[in-house]
Amino acid sequence: MAKKPEITTETGLQFFGQISASISHELKNVLAIINENAGLLEDFTLMADRGVPLDPDRLKKMAQGVKKQINRADAIISNMNRFAHSTDQPLATVDLAQTIETVLAVTARFAAMRGIRIDWQLPANPVALQTAPFHLMNLIWLCLEFSMSAAGAEKQVELVAEETAGGVRIRFRRLAGLAADLRDTFPSDHEKILLEMLAAECKVELEPKEMVLELTKRY
């Protein structure tokens, strides 16, 4: 097995690259729509030059369309910014719900591409965790990615996060396609190192079909 720091660097870079590529793709889609709106506006002005009157309602609709895409891009960039800042400090105190929400937001496209619906229930009150924020996000993503592979024909994963006496528990439920052969693939060596690093434990259960990630509040 390769050395632990090398594996965490490799896994972390892979995660960062995956998310960055996905975000850049989403932003390109936003730009493509704005580009078509600008092109259509140009088409209308050329028609106006030839005496075809401009339709104010149509122009209003186009302006709304552009605003919608700007709001979309703004949300993508805000999530990207939160994600990028997870690398600021090797150890920090974070809120559990906010961390999970960031992971869900930056990885939403991967679920959409697979046609999988992710439902979630997060603690209503803040739950502080002292952790390695980036590695925690990476671990949550790896659990989610595995859960999506185990979603089966129902194409649905339910994530439930709750505070426990000693820490927090994140359950990835309704894994309809989870079978013994798939269960045995998780955690892999990469995931085991992250689990060890974060003093976390993970169990994949066939009955009920779910994955349970246990984290301590301090490590």
Partner 1 sequence: MSAKVLLVDDEKDFLDIMAERLAARGLDVATAGSAEDALKMVIAESYDAVIMDLMMPEMDGFKALKLFKKSRPDLSVILLTGNVPEETRIEAIKLGALDVIEKPADLNLLTLKIEEAKALRAKKLI
User: Considering the rule CB under 8 A, would residue 24 count as an interface residue with partner 1?
Assistant: yes
User: Which of 79, 146, 167, 60 minimizes the C-alpha distance to 159?
Assistant: 146
**Using rule CB under 8 A, residue 33 touches partner 1:** yes
Q: Region of 50 please: left (phi>0), alpha (psi -120 to 50) or beta.
A: alpha
- Which neighbouring-strand residues pair with 157? 118
Q: Which one-letter amino acid corresponds to residue 118? A: I
Residues 107-146 within binding reach of partner 1 (CB under 8 A): 112-115
Decide if residue 69 touches partner 1 (CB under 8 A). Answer: yes
Q: Among residues 8, 11, 37, 86, which is the contact residue for partner 1, using CB under 8 A?
A: 37
Task: Assess contact for 106 and 134: CB atoms under 8 A.
Answer: no
CA atoms within 13 A on the CB side of 46: 6
Residues 38-57 contacting partner 1, CB under 8 A: 39-40, 43
Stretch that binds partner 1, among 17-25, 94-102, 131-139, 157-165 (CB under 8 A): 17-25
Query: Counting contacts by CB under 8 A, is residue 34 touching partner 1?
Result: yes
| Residue 37 or 86 having the CB closest to partner 1 | 37
- How many H helices and E strands in the chain? 6, 7
Shorter beta-carbon distance to partner 1: residue 33 or 105: 33
Do residues 171 and 107 touch, judged by C-beta distance below 8 A?
A: no
Q: Does 73 bind partner 1 (CB under 8 A)?
A: no
For partner 1, the binding residues (CB under 8 A) are: 21, 24-29, 31-37, 39-40, 43, 65, 68-69, 112-115
